[in-house]
Amino acid sequence: MKLVKKLSFLILFSFLLAIGSITYLVATETGTKWLFTQISNQTSGIFQIGKIEGSLANKLTLTEVNYFSSDFDLTIEQLVFAWNPAMLLETTFWIDKLWVKSIRWHQTHSNPPSNHSSENITLPQIKLPLKIVIRDAQAKNIKIEPLKSPPQLINTVALKGKFEQQSLKLNTLYLSTHQGHIKTSGIIAPQKNYPLNLRAQWGISIPDVGEIIGKDALRGNLEQLTIYQTTQSPFQSQLKGRLSDPLHNLGWIAALEISEVELQKFLPQTPEARLSLHLKSAGNLNKFKVQASFQAAGSEFGHVQGALKGEQQSKGHWIIDQLDLDQKETQGYFTLYGHIVSQGDQPQVAVQGHWQDLAWPLMEEAKFASKEGDLNLQGVPDNYHLTVNTVLSGQEIPKSQWSLDGVGNTKQFNINPLVGKLLSGTVTTQGQITWKPNINWDLNITSQEINPGIQWVEWPGSLNFKIDTQGILQDSNQRNAIVKIQDFSGSLRNYPIHAQGQVQVENMLLTLKEVALYSGDSNLSATGTVGEHLDLNWQLISQDLSQLLPEAKGNITAKGYLGGYPTFPEVILKLQGSQLKYQNFQLGKINADGNIDPTGKQQSKLLVEAKNIYAADEAIQSLVLQGGGIPQKHRLNVNLNSTDRSLDLSFLGAWNEDKFLWQGQIYQGQITDSLIGRWNTVKPTSLILNNQIAQLAPWCWQQEKAQLCLNGNWQQNKPWDARFNITDLSLATFTSFLPKHTSIVGTIEGFTSIKGIKSQLMYASGHFVASPGEIIQTNPEEEKLTFIHRGLTTKLNLKEGQGEVSLKLLLDEPSASPINAVFHLPPAPIDFSSFNKLPLDGKIFMAFTDLAFLETLIPEVEEIHGQFNVDLSLKGNLVSPEILGQAILKEGTAQIDNLDLELTNLHLQLDAQGKNLLLNGGVTSGEGQLALTGQSYLDTDNLRARLNISGNRFEAMNTPEIHALISPNLNLRLQDKEIYVDGEVLVPQANIIIKDIKTRGGIAGSRDVVIVSKKENLEEKLENMPIYAKVRAILGDRVVVQGFGFKGEIAGNLLVTDAPGTFTQANGQINLTNQSQYKAYGQELEIRRGLLIFSGPIDKPQLNVEAVRIIDSDRVTAGIRIHGPATAPEPTLFSEPPMNQSDILSYLVMGRPLSNGSNAGLDRSQLMEKTATSLGLAGGGFLAKGLSKITGLDKLGIIDDIGVENTMPGENQSAAFMLGKHISPRLYIGYGVGILERFNAFRIRYTLNRLLRLQAETGIESGGDLLFDLER
């Protein structure tokens, strides 16, 4: 019994001792430290812990944990572990916190690769007796450094989850790196076939692209997995697939769709395009198939689509069934097919391709195009055979057919040969190109009967050449190439041509050996070297430069020498030329003689004299450059003269070899200009120059009291500055730049100062003030219209933090507020290279409470009233400006005196909405209104605008002579600097009265007199703005016309078209109503039918008019019919019943037939007096000839050179019935009576000799003429 007690006590003691020991080791910090010391002693490597805080039973913190083994080093800055031991009673291992900070794993030794293949992978069957709960586990700043791979950085790994019921449930598994992140949740059972259901959200950051965001879903087990993946940004894609047996024999069925990817986001160098992709694949790693298609659309290449079908029949054996590219707009395509069999490192390739209608660029004129072609590639990389056949063309590529046959390997390619058939000849190339270890070549190029004129029409000929070239490129600084012209002969532009010589490039040295070109009698030759040192002789002799260049003319003889260093060469030049011309440049005569010695051993001299220079639309009469001296002291004079201006400048200076700069003075200068007058320099100005520095002291020009000064300093890669000053400059200087008949009074002064570095503007300040003054406009009536202002101020301020430009104009008008404009600039610095993209931020404000002051500027308009307000903001940039805000005219009224119109309710509103400008407005005249609506799009390259003008019974004129109402509906469109007008104008009502012209003295000027108007030609005002019009004019049923004896209503419909360079055309007709009448000398003719038919030029209608006089007492109707073109009408007389022409004429004029009795002579006399109009209308004077015989007069008939000013051809308003008689053989007297106008004319003519006659007239106007006859 005692033994049992002792044994029980011993067991109890041992148990308590074990419990106490474990408690000590786990629950105390000392015990925990001792435990980790024992663990360290038992490891194969070196295990170190810098500091231990806490215990395993509660919370344990390990600091500076290190483990060093033979294969790797592991360091942990800090590890914090906290768990709940009490949960072990519930068979749960509960981890409250597991934090690891700054882990570094560094591999020191690489292990040999494992012999286990993927086919032997077996995942463990994990079954745990405990439930595991992880509330918060995370590791940050993890760095993995493999021995032979780049280091990998992981920002964060975080885990929250639990293991229960033999499944791992992930609440969150989060991984973050610099490249992206992934967050996973779901469940996985690590037994049998590992069933799982996982979801993930991820993002991948790509430089210059942004972050790609997507989602994944993975379901199934290791026998079969289903995957579903989508992306949302920056493009949309969808991947669906099924994986089978991923551990042993991976198989798949998958489909990928990508919708409209913007390629420039991923490949910035590619053209703007959107790409869609569809991809399908099925199989396993040994054998699978791929099928893909894509569509791409872009402004540069239109619509392109492609397709791929291929398969891997076995490992390393690829078959390309189809690789196609198609372009919709050009119908071009490319197709490729074949197979690739991998045999070690030498895959066997057999590929064939074909294409048709390929070009680039696709949507513009092709710079490169291939009508069709094919290729065949056979062999292995070390021994392959390539053949290519194709047809090429392009902007600068002549249409040609090429065939290539060659063999090659990974180091070189032998051309055997390359043959091109082009320009009616052939070009053959043979040789070898090598790219390993260096790029070198050895080629022979020959041609036969090449005619460049087929492609370049100005260069016809037949060329034969043989050229050898060899070379080698080792790196950017080691290069050697030789081009030797073995033969170059033939004809070019009907001149025999010959070339010879050798060109060699060795590193930076270019050597020309007897290089010469002969064309006709002209030749150009050069021999020598060009490199770090110059030693080159050259010569050009040509009596006709067109032998060398088709666009060149003239003769030239020149020779020279270049020596020394390229930066400061020795130059010897002698040149003579005359009648030189090239494209738009012309030079009448030039002589140049120069000998420049940079060493100073002899005096340098330079004289260039040129005359009659024409370039850039400028004509220069003469240019002289004359200089001389030595580098330490020399001079240069520049004299330039043209018709409107001249320039004289003198320079004195010296070259400083040590500092490598020129230092001197602009000694004196003078500018004489027809626009700005004469300006002289005030005093010599210091100037320092070289390739890294420029310094200009104040360079001042003076004209009377005005002075302009400029100075500045520039240093390469260092700060620079410049300043410009104006003092007391008369604004009249700029009169020549203002519109015609405009002058300006006042002065301006101010300054601008700028500073910067390189292309950066760092500071700018400016202040300009224009004095109070006037702008004077002189109208054609010689009236002066004066616009008075009280001064203009502009300020510029740019510095770090702010920038602003302001303008303020004070008007001499109480109703007007100052015109203010303020533009905010971005703070300095501003890059000049992107100046056009400088953001605009400005505001323009003006307000007028009354517009009465405009009456002085528009004298034709009176009683101008209204309010005008402008409040606009300027945004965008200089290349693409935008305008926001409004400009409003309201309560406007005006009277137009010469039209007797009173305009009311005049209103306009301009709404600026960025690049769109919207216009709405209207006006009332009489009882009608006119409305305007329009829109304009701001585009600096192509301004576009449209305007609609519509109205209803708008009173357009209200004078005693014309009262007209119009109802227009017109559309005006501005596009491509052209104006298009279309629509219609309805005239519903009009009353037009043309008063008879009073009898006046004097006669009209002869038809050969041309009146030159003082008014400006409208076409000059609309220069570079052609107008295309297509407008229908409709005359309503209430249009009445009275004048020249006509009274009646007219109606009609005309389509009027006009275009630059053509006569105005009209199609349609105008009708004269049956109630219309024509009255002449007391006789009223009734217009029974009246048509003006237009089908061509508007001034050449066809006439179809019938006018009659009805004599009821005799039951006779007499009339006249007029047919044919208005320029040459054909009148005929008729009557009902029919009668002879004399009786018809008598009925028309006197209302009765001619008498046959004693009164016959009287009737004929009355008829002769009254038939003037009929004779004029007939235009032939068929009756006048008979009457002149009866009366014995030398002249009796119609003349039409006496009339009203500006009578158009074909009109007879100035026609007169003239009677004339020779009093003597030399003296003639005539007397005339107006037909359509009431006036009398007297003419006297005296013959001086056979060639000269003196004539005087009085009538509508008076005048005299000296007439002469020249016969040949």
Q: Which residue, 494, 520, 546, sits at the end of a domain? A: 520
Q: What is the pLDDT of residues 219-274, one digit of tens each?
A: 999 889 999 999 887 888 899 999 988 888 889 999 999 888 887 777 777 777 78
821 closest CA partner among 837, 802, 841, 839: 841
- The band of 368, judged by pLDDT with boundaries at 50, 70 and 90, is confident
Q: Which residue, 838, 871, 896, sits at the end of a domain? A: 838
Lowest mean pLDDT among 512-516, 618-622, 938-942, 1247-1251: 1247-1251
Q: What is the pLDDT of residue 1234?
A: 59
Say if 191 falls within a structural domain.
no
Say if 975 falls within a structural domain.
no
1258 closest CA partner among 1270, 1240, 1236: 1240
Taking a C-beta distance cutoff of 8 angstroms, is the pair 107, 147 a contact? yes
Pairing of strands 661-673, 685-689: antiparallel
Query: Cα separation of 1179 and 538, whole Å?
Result: 79
Q: Taking the model in full, what pTM does it have?
A: 0.54
Say if 9 falls within a structural domain.
no
What secondary structure letter does DSSP report for 382?
Answer: T
Query: Cα separation of 205 and 176, whole Å?
Result: 11
Say if 1119 falls within a structural domain.
no
717 closest CA partner among 760, 754, 758: 758
Distance of CA 458 to the CA centre of its chain: 31
For the cut 50, the answer to whether the pLDDT of residue 1008 exceeds it is no
- Give every CB contact of residue 990 below 8 A, 6+ residues apart in sequence: 962, 963, 964, 965, 1035, 1038, 1039, 1040
For the cut 70, the answer to whether the pLDDT of residue 996 exceeds it is no
What secondary structure letter does DSSP report for 1160?
Answer: H
* Amino acid identity at 1222: H
430 closest CA partner among 464, 379, 466, 401: 466
Which residue matches tokens 């390990």?
Answer: 62
Instruction: Classify each residue of 343-363 as buried b or exposed e, where b means 16 or more C-beta atoms within 10 Å of its C-beta.
Output: eeeeebbebebebbebbeebe
**Three-state DSSP class for residue 1220:** strand
243 closest CA partner among 201, 276, 196, 203: 196
How many residues are given for the chain?
1272
For the cut 90, the answer to whether the pLDDT of residue 389 exceeds it is yes
**H/E segment holding residue 551:** none
**H/E segment holding residue 36:** helix 29-42
Query: Cα separation of 956 and 929, whole Å?
Result: 10
Q: How far apart are the first and last CA of the chain?
A: 174
**H/E segment holding residue 1187:** helix 1184-1191
For the cut 80, the answer to whether the pLDDT of residue 1181 exceeds it is no
The set of long-range contacts for 708-715, using a CB threshold of 8 Å and a minimum separation of 24, is 708/679
- The band of 1169, judged by pLDDT with boundaries at 50, 70 and 90, is very low
544: number of CA atoms within 13 Å, CB side? 7
What DSSP letter does each residue of 725-782 carry, written as one string?
A: EEEEEEGGGGGGGSPTTEEEE-EEEEEEEEEEETTEEEEEEEEEEEPSEEEEEE-TT-
Say if 755 falls within a structural domain.
yes
In the beta sheet, which residues pair with residue 874? 842, 883
Query: Cα separation of 973 and 969, whole Å?
Result: 13
Pick the residue with more confidence: 514 or 262? 514
Q: What is the pLDDT of residue 962?
A: 86
* Amino acid identity at 342: S
Q: What is the pLDDT of residue 477?
A: 67
Mean pLDDT over 849-864 rounds to 76
Which residue matches tokens 């009902």?
Answer: 1136
Say if 1127 falls within a structural domain.
no
For the cut 50, the answer to whether the pLDDT of residue 1023 exceeds it is no
For the cut 80, the answer to whether the pLDDT of residue 1002 exceeds it is no
- The band of 316, judged by pLDDT with boundaries at 50, 70 and 90, is confident
Helices 29-42 and 2-27: angle between axes, nearest 10 degrees: 90
Query: Cα separation of 883 and 885, whole Å?
Result: 7
Lowest mean pLDDT among 326-335, 412-421, 1153-1162: 1153-1162
- Give every CB contact of residue 197 below 8 A, 6+ residues apart in sequence: 186, 187, 188, 218, 219
Q: What is the pLDDT of residues 742-781, one digit of tens each?
A: 788 888 999 999 898 888 888 889 999 988 888 777 776 6
**Six-digit token string for 369:** 């195009």
What DSSP letter does each residue of 837-904 carry, written as one string?
A: GPBPEEEEEEEES--GGGGGT-TTEEEEEEEEEEEEEEEEBSSSEEEEEEEEEEEEEEEEGGGTEEEE
Taking a C-beta distance cutoff of 8 angstroms, is the pair 929, 948 a contact? no
Say if 1039 falls within a structural domain.
no
888 closest CA partner among 875, 904, 911, 869: 869
For the cut 60, the answer to whether the pLDDT of residue 734 exceeds it is yes
Pick the residue with more confidence: 43 or 954? 954
Lowest mean pLDDT among 117-131, 648-662, 757-771, 1166-1180: 1166-1180
Q: Which residue, 520, 537, 569, sits at the end of a domain? A: 520
**Six-digit token string for 971:** 């559309």
Taking a C-beta distance cutoff of 8 angstroms, is the pair 942, 975 a contact? yes
**Three-state DSSP class for residue 300:** coil
Q: What is the pLDDT of residue 873?
A: 85
Q: What is the pLDDT of residue 161?
A: 92
Instruction: Classify each residue of 368-403 as buried b or exposed e, where b means 16 or more C-beta atoms within 10 Å of its C-beta.
Output: ebbbebebbbbbbeeebebebbbebbbeeebebbbe
E-strand stretches of 493-584: 495-506, 509-519, 522-530, 534-542, 552-565, 568-582
**Six-digit token string for 1222:** 């020779």
Pairing of strands 1027-1043, 978-994: parallel
% of the chain residues with pLDDT over 70:
84
Kindly give the residue spans of alpha helices, DSSP state H, lying in 530-618.
none
Say if 1057 falls within a structural domain.
no
Instruction: Classify each residue of 103-124 as buried b or exposed e, where b means 16 or more C-beta atoms within 10 Å of its C-beta.
Output: bbbeeeeeeeeeeeeeeeeeee
Query: CA 1130 → CA 268, 1096, 1103, 1197, distances in Å?
Result: 77, 19, 9, 18
Query: Cα separation of 731 and 768, whole Å?
Result: 13
Range of the domain at 450: 412-520
- Provide the number of structural domains found in the chain: 3
Taking a C-beta distance cutoff of 8 angstroms, is the pair 974, 959 a contact? no
Pairing of strands 568-582, 439-450: unpaired
Is the peptide bond between 460 and the residue preceding it cis, with omega within 30 degrees of 0?
no
Pairing of strands 180-188, 742-745: unpaired
In the beta sheet, which residues pair with residue 575? 558, 592
